[in-house]
Amino acid sequence: MAAPSPPLLALRGVTKAFPGGVRANDRVDLDVHAGEVHALVGENGAGKSTLVKIVYGFVRPDAGQIHVEGRPAMIASPRDARRLGIGLVFQELVQVAAFTVAENIAMFLPDLPAVLDRRAIARRIEATSAAYGLDVDPAAPVWQLSVGERQRVEIVKLLLGGARILLFDEPTRGLAPHEVDSLLRSFGGLRRDGYAVVFITHRLTEVLAGADRITVMRGGVVAGSVLRAAATEAALVSMMFGTTEWGAPTWPPTPPRRSDRPGGAVTVLDHRPAAPPVLELRGVTARPDGYLTGLDAIDLVVRPHEIVGVAGVAGNGQRELGDVILGLEPCAAGVKYLGGEDATRWPVSRARAGGVVFIPEDALGMAAVGDLTILENVALGDTRKYARHGGLTLDWAAAQADLDRSLGRLDVTVPSPATRIGTLSGGNVQRVILARELAREPRLIVAFYPTRGLDVRSAVAARRLMLAARDAGAGVLLISEDLGELFALADRLVVLFRGRIAGEGRPGVITMAQVGHLMTGTAAAARA
């Protein structure tokens, strides 16, 4: 890699400040060579996404130069970037769902003739796909594909479009473990053929498995750049957070064991019948309209002082389950109890007033209003509570106090409460929403992939908070794909597969392998 030729992509002194004075990138230098898989890691808000968007011409830097193949490059728009052979795979894939793979790719090709030769395009797609083990079917309609498959379509699209520098913004987010493995294998093929790959991630295991060089960003600056051979997990973590700030004792992030909580290792049987379950679903069925799957006769109980983990590959009814519990989606059949009361027909507001809180996967899409300030978003969590004079005014001081208290418990900080939340990084938005929801003294927490996309520290804090809420008497329904997280946190696990509960058990009694089989519907595990 220490080739005599100039790096394929070189950044020098790239600086970008956003309105409000947040320095997303501060004099960033970065070299990416041909035949190199380069991982970009760092805490949420460290400036990784901004950096790749600058390279792709999506964000204009305030200062600094970009060189491609040793020549200075003016990248004012994504079109410039593509002409220079730079391609970006976005976190949210931009594709036309109704089109086939071939049509989606054809739209993007620079040399597209006026009359399409479908067969030629399909052949090119198949050839490229085969060369890198991407397994893309040109005839498949995009709406039928999984996230992982759609991502591979993006890669083929960039390669056919002549890209030589491939940027990925958190490509492994939302992928199943085997999909991550195959993505990293594809990176290997690209490396072999002299492409440069830059990918952003939070997961250090992926970095160590797939990258040749690792650049760590912290607070908008490059904290360090190391070769894979010289990197260790501990070294990377200390670079990401600064050793003084994030001492050794908290790493690796081992959450308190179940037995650490007051009362010791209890089983369900120990619960006095006096406390009704915070959530009980009996035979709950939801129609699949508008969703991928419906729910089919779900029986589920969450008791106080209990974390129930819901394992499953995304798209097997998780979203529907959360929506039914919250009251966004009606039960077509069955009964739902919240805190012992029949809540089958409760609207969302009533469920929330009853102590149900919702922690979403995509905070800016599902829980926060980007145009409102942080504080306004906090007040939005419970407008009735903060209303004064019958709603004529709002008690901003109370909202501020709740936010501060909650942030203190989370051990995180966020920018000034008067900042528009849409200008924050994804991780910071998630922190605000976590703080807001946990300030509401929840009785039932429905957590939807709550740590997905969070950096290590925020994820640890979020997990601790869920444990603390459980110890304070709340019930938690933790919907996650991360089996490590589920096994570490959950008192009981259920596995969702195609809208049904395919199996359940206690971590330790049921094994990860069994859960994995249940998740994928592999019959062998039915005995668990």
Which residues lie near other proteins (CB under 8 A)? 19, 53, 58-60, 326, 328, 347-353, 358, 360, 364-372, 376, 379-381, 383-384, 386-387, 391-394, 422-423
According to DSSP, the residues that pair with 336 across neighbouring strands are 281
Least distance in angstroms from the C-beta of 366 to other proteins: 6
> For other proteins, which is the closer residue by CB, 218 or 440?
440
Residue 512 near residue 354, CB atoms below 8 Å? no
> For other proteins, which is the closer residue by CB, 386 or 497?
386
**Three-class HEC string of 249-271:** HHCCCCCCCHHHCCCCCCCHHHC
Contacts for 55 with CB less than 8 Å, ≥ 6 apart: 9, 11, 66, 75, 81, 86, 88, 165, 167, 198
Alpha-carbon gap, residue 450 to 252, rounded angstroms? 19
Residue 138 near residue 121, CB atoms below 8 Å? yes
* Inter-CA distances, 273 with 392, 403, 470, 485, 494, Å: 44, 35, 18, 29, 22
Residue 229 near residue 439, CB atoms below 8 Å? no
Contacts for 313 with CB less than 8 Å, ≥ 6 apart: 176, 481, 497, 519, 520
> For other proteins, which is the closer residue by CB, 346 or 497?
346
Nearest to 451 by CA among 520, 370, 362: 362
Least distance in angstroms from the C-beta of 171 to other proteins: 19
Nearest to 87 by CA among 217, 205, 212, 197: 197
Tokens 């008067």 correspond to 418
What H or E segment, with its residue span, contains residue 199?
A: strand 196-201
Least distance in angstroms from the C-beta of 79 to other proteins: 14
> For other proteins, which is the closer residue by CB, 7 or 47?
47
399 C-beta neighbours (distance < 10 Å), count:
25
* Inter-CA distances, 505 with 221, 253, 311, 514, Å: 46, 24, 11, 10
Phi and psi dihedrals of 515, rounded to 5?
A: -60, -40
First to last CA, the chain: 49
> For other proteins, which is the closer residue by CB, 36 or 437?
437
Least distance in angstroms from the C-beta of 364 to other proteins: 8
> For other proteins, which is the closer residue by CB, 290 or 508?
290
> For other proteins, which is the closer residue by CB, 194 or 370?
370
Least distance in angstroms from the C-beta of 462 to other proteins: 18
> For other proteins, which is the closer residue by CB, 214 or 279?
279
> For other proteins, which is the closer residue by CB, 322 or 516?
322
Nearest to 353 by CA among 326, 331, 319: 326
Least distance in angstroms from the C-beta of 355 to other proteins: 12
Least distance in angstroms from the C-beta of 473 to other proteins: 22
Least distance in angstroms from the C-beta of 486 to other proteins: 23
Which region, left, alpha or beta, applies to residue 317 given φ > 0 means left and ψ of -120 to 50 means alpha? left
According to DSSP, the residues that pair with 222 across neighbouring strands are 217
Phi and psi dihedrals of 473, rounded to 5?
A: 115, 0
> For other proteins, which is the closer residue by CB, 324 or 495?
324
Which amino acid, one-letter code, is at 208?
L
Q: What angle do CA 392, 397, 399 make, to 5 degrees?
A: 85
Alpha-carbon gap, residue 403 to 255, rounded angstroms? 24
> For other proteins, which is the closer residue by CB, 8 or 435?
435
> For other proteins, which is the closer residue by CB, 381 or 516?
381
Q: How long, in residues, is the chain?
A: 528
Least distance in angstroms from the C-beta of 392 to other proteins: 5
Residue 124 near residue 161, CB atoms below 8 Å? no
Tell me, what DSSP letter sits at residue 507?
B
9 C-beta neighbours (distance < 10 Å), count:
26
> For other proteins, which is the closer residue by CB, 147 or 380?
380
Least distance in angstroms from the C-beta of 480 to other proteins: 19
